[in-house]
């Protein structure tokens, strides 16, 4: 059994290959400038597509390539609010009319919570049932 064992090395050990005749891939060094006056260089492969913006390793800001221009900002659609969506469906005049109608119903006691529509001063007196209208 001992004649089959590997001697002199173990699994996961360093490679015995020699690096003397191996040439590294051609590289280019690209410089970036941060808005906080940080400058850093990054190596890229010679045939790689180099990005024009890179995150600064010191502050995390957006660093721009020294010999390149800042890319055009993408058009961002502004977020629509509930008010914007409401105005797509109704005009201001229609909304004012609906508001006045709903306020009349609320004041008359036909809609809204019961504690707003107490009849008289005694809260224990029973009230007639209200008719509810759907909105």
Query: What are the tens digits of pLDDT across the range 46-69?
Result: 999 999 899 999 999 989 999 877
- Residue ranges for the chain with pLDDT beneath 70: 1-10, 118-135
H-helix or E-strand spanning residue 96: helix 92-108
- The predicted pLDDT at position 56 comes to 93
Are the beta carbons of 67 and 91 closer than 8 angstroms? no
pLDDT score of 23 = 85
Determine the pLDDT at residue 8.
Answer: 66
- Helix/strand/coil (H/E/C) assignment for every residue in 7-35: CCCCCCCCCCCCCCCCCCCCEEEEEEECC
State the Cα–Cα distance between residues 114 and 132, nearest whole angstrom. Answer: 12
pLDDT of residue 73: 77
* The pLDDT of residue 69: 73
């Amino acid at each position: 059994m001992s004649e089959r064992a590997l001697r002199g090395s173990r699994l996961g050990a360093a490679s015995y290959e020699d690096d003397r005749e191996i040439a590294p891939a051609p590289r280019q060094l690209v410089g970036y400038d941060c808005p906080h006056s940080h400058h850093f260089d990054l190596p890229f492969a010679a045939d790689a597509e180099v990005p024009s913006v890179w995150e600064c390793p010191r502050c995390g800001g957006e660093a721009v390539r020294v010999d390149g221009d800042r890319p055009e900002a993408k058009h961002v659609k502004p977020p629509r609010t509930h008010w914007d969506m409401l105005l797509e469906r109704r005009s201001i005049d229609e909304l004012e009319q609906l508001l006045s109608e709903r306020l009349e119903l609320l004041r008359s006691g036909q809609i809204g919570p019961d504690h707003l529509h107490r009849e008289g001063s005694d809260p224990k007196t029973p009230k007639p049932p209200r008719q509810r209208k759907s909105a």
